[in-house]
Structure 1
């Protein structure tokens, strides 16, 4: 079996399509099929199940994916180590991220990183908190940004910032006169619940006080939540980093300095990171230390 065959299988599994895998690898669909068939023949079992509904990785294929990711990652590390020995800075870094980090942090971080290491390619994989954690755990990314919790013990992690939760109120709402409204007061109002990630922190706030919020709507898009609050359709809570620039017609009330989500950068093993990934880690932590308070 060859590295090329493994790369084809991994790309088919990631894209869910022979055509897309071929496009990303610069191969024809028949070449993708041929490479996959050769790998299946050597292993002695099917890796992909094909049907009218599409393709699906078989249980045996799922087991092989873990090993293939390890092999390809080790190969990439070897290439990068060799490049370092010859004075070059090359390689690929795969980074898991969620929307607020992608919006507020990554543009200046990537700009700085690419100016320093122009030969290192950064590939971004955006998703919700759970998606990014899964990508780190399975090796689909080298490192990722995730909220830090006490339950997370499987990662090497560095905490970057405590992102305060902010209560959002329509203009003129009486709660804006309170310096720090009680959870019970908030629970009595029509509530717009954010989805995909920060809802876990918000639900925990209500659960700790043993109260149920009056949920009227559940939304994924942060700007849409702000627009609905502005229109008087309810109140909401969002992390400060997720807030759009235009907050006209919306009151922002800090929930308290001790109420926040902690954003960190994580990997399965920092010692096992490739040279390129280590450079990215170092760039991120230095940038956030210098600029994080203002974002």
Structure 2
């Protein structure tokens, strides 16, 4: 099995079409098809269900796709390691991030990082924590900044970055707005605003309230912080959010939660082994966190 065969296989799997895959790779379709057939013979199983319009992965193909991406990612990491020894980071670095990353000002860090490593191609995407962790595991991302999940795959590396308490966000006219502290169990009758499942703080809030016997109603779901706070401002619901959200608006009241409530943690997730480019970016992030680089700010 050759790396080129895996590269061809991944392209066909992602394009669902041999012609489009050949154009993307800038190779002859006949050569690409022959390479796939050779790979199927070597593995003793068909990888695609072929039709006149498109191709679909077989169960064997779906199993191979995860490992093929991982193998190519490991190859890139090996190349990066050699380049890093020579003092030249090159290749690509795919990053995932939560929509609002308070613990570090990622654009400032990336600007500094790209200036130091102009030969490196950077890509960035946002999403929910579970989705981003799975993309790291599958080799589609090198590094992700996410909230700590209850569980994560064994084949990724997880490193704590920062933690902060949850607080109650409510409208200024809400009865809880004048309180110093609120017990989580008191929120039983409240209508909630939150992010979709597996997004932002949703999983942690669910676990905190479930532990208090609170079966909550999430009446409104949003996918960005500022929309959440706007909805809370107008009294359409309350939310449990990281304390850092309090710097974003003065139109919402933020009230401390009583009792031993688990902190919301931001972690970094990388492949195992970690690529040289991901390690270099993490170094920049820690420099920023320590005050020797672009500082941590609220988004």
**Fold in common (TM above 0.5):** yes
Alignment of 1:223-262 (within 5 A): 223-240=226-243, 245=248, 247-255=249-257, 258-262=261-265
Aligned to 1:194: 195
Answer with 71-80 or 101-110: which moved more: 101-110
| Change over 3 Å in CA distance of 1:123–1:238 after alignment to 2 | same
Structure 1 stretches of 5 or more lacking a match? none
Alignment of 1:128-143 (within 5 A): 128-143=128-143
Alignment of 1:12-51 (within 5 A): 12-14=12-14, 25=24, 27=26, 31=27, 33-34=29-30, 36-44=32-40, 45-49=45-49
Aligned to 1:263: 266
Deviation at 1:209, TM superposition (A): 0.8
| Change over 3 Å in CA distance of 1:73–1:35 after alignment to 2 | farther
Provide the C-alpha distance between the structure 2 equivalents of 1:106 and 1:224, rounded to a whole number of angstroms.
21
User: Aligned to 2:215, what secondary structure does the other structure show?
Assistant: coil
Count of aligned pairs: 288
Structure 2 stretches of 5 or more lacking a match? none
1:9 and 2:9 matched = yes
Bigger share in helix = 1
Deviation at 1:39, TM superposition (A): 3.0
Deviation at 1:161, TM superposition (A): 0.7
Q: Could you tell me whether the CA contact under 8 Å between 1:98 and 1:128 is conserved in 2?
A: yes
CA-based RMSD of the aligned residues comes to 3.3
| Change over 3 Å in CA distance of 1:164–1:34 after alignment to 2 | farther
Aligned to 2:76: 76
Q: Could you tell me whether the CA contact under 8 Å between 1:162 and 1:261 is conserved in 2?
A: yes
Q: Could you tell me whether the CA contact under 8 Å between 1:8 and 1:35 is conserved in 2?
A: no
State which of 206, 229, 249 in structure 1 corresponds to 2:209: 206
User: Aligned to 2:194, what secondary structure does the other structure show?
Assistant: strand
Provide the C-alpha distance between the structure 2 equivalents of 1:240 and 1:32, rounded to a whole number of angstroms.
56
| Change over 3 Å in CA distance of 1:177–1:275 after alignment to 2 | same
Provide the C-alpha distance between the structure 2 equivalents of 1:18 and 1:233, rounded to a whole number of angstroms.
51
Deviations 1:204-254 (A, max 9, x none): 111111122243333333332222222221212223456784x25322223
What is the TM-score of this pair, normalised by structure 1?
0.81
User: Aligned to 1:99, what secondary structure does the other structure show?
Assistant: coil
Q: Could you tell me whether the CA contact under 8 Å between 1:96 and 1:127 is conserved in 2?
A: yes
Provide the C-alpha distance between the structure 2 equivalents of 1:285 and 1:19, rounded to a whole number of angstroms.
45
Aligned to 2:280: 279
Aligned to 1:160: 161
